[in-house]
Amino acid sequence: YKICNVHLHHCAIYYLLECWTDWMDCDNPTGTGDWETISNLKKYYPKDMCPNPTAIEVATVDGISMADAGNVFYAYTYKIIHNVSVTVCWMLMVFYIWHRNDHITGLICKNADQEKCFCRDYKVRFVCYPPFCGNQKLCWTKWYDRDNPSGTGDWELLQNLRNENPGEICADPIAIESRTVDTDTPAATTGQDFLHFSPTTGFVCKNGPNQYCRDYKVRFGCPCKPVLAELAVERDES
C-alpha cells in the first residue's frame, strides 16, 4: 500500500504500520556533553534501531519531556525536528543551547555551549516503518467515530480520542484502519484524500473545493501484550 505523505496532504492507504523503538541512552552529560547520535546508538543497540528512522522523541532519563522541562525550539513537530535553540537549565534561569536534534543525526547537547550548568541526561527513541515493525502481532481497539464531516471535515485525531476514551488506546499504536461509517468501505478505496492517516497521529479528512469528506471511523492496532487483554477485542492472525 502507498505511504501517506502528510507534507503533500495526500495519501491513499488502507493500512499503515509505524512504531516507536524502545528508549535508548548511550551517553551521559559528563565530558563534552550528551551525545545520543544514531551512529553511537546503533553500536550500543544494534538490534533495536531501524536503518532509516523517520522521527525522533527526546526526554530526560527520568521521563520528563522536553516541553514539560521548559525547552524552547526553533522547530519541534512530530515528523520534522530541526535544530534547537534554548531551554531552561534545571530550576535556574540560565539558558543553554541545544546543538542538534533530528531523526538523521540524533541528539547532541554540548556542555561547551552552556553558561552555568551541564546538559541534562537525555534518552531518545525513533519512529520506524516495516519491515522493522512488521513481525509484531496486533491487537485491535474497538472502532471510534468522534466526529462527522460537517464543518472543516472529519477529525479522528488520536489525542482527541484518548481524551474522550481514557485508558482504551495503548501508548504507542503501530497500525491504524479507517472505514466509512455507513457502508464499512476501506478509506483507501473511497478515492478521497487525507491530511493525516497515521497510527501515531490519527485520521483527518479535510473538506475542500474538490471533495466533501465521508463520515469515517477508525481503530488502532497495538502490540499484543497481557495488559491489552482488557482493551483489545480482536487479534490479527494474518
Q: Is the pTM of this model over 0.85?
A: no
For 81-91, the pLDDT digits (tens) are: 333 333 322 22
Task: Count CB neighbours of 96 within 10 A.
Answer: 21
Lowest-confidence range among 30-39, 62-71, 107-116? 62-71
In this prediction, residue 67 carries a pLDDT of 60
Provide the edge-to-edge strand list for the sheet that holds 84-88: 71-73, 84-88, 95-97
The three three-digit cell numbers of residue 60, written as one number? 530526560
Q: Please tell me the distance from the alpha carbon of residue 64 to that of residue 48, in angstroms, as a whole number.
A: 22
Q: Please tell me the distance from the alpha carbon of residue 129 to that of residue 162, in angstroms, as a whole number.
A: 23
- What is the distance of C-alpha 68 from the center of its chain? 17
For 192-217, the pLDDT digits (tens) are: 988 888 887 899 999 999 999 999 99
Q: Who has greater pLDDT, 135 or 13?
A: 135
Average pLDDT over residues 178-183: 94
Three-class DSSP category at 34: strand
First CA to last CA distance, the chain: 16
Q: Please tell me the distance from the alpha carbon of residue 13 to that of residue 136, in angstroms, as a whole number.
A: 20
For 86-123, the pLDDT digits (tens) are: 332 222 222 223 334 556 778 877 777 766 667 778 88
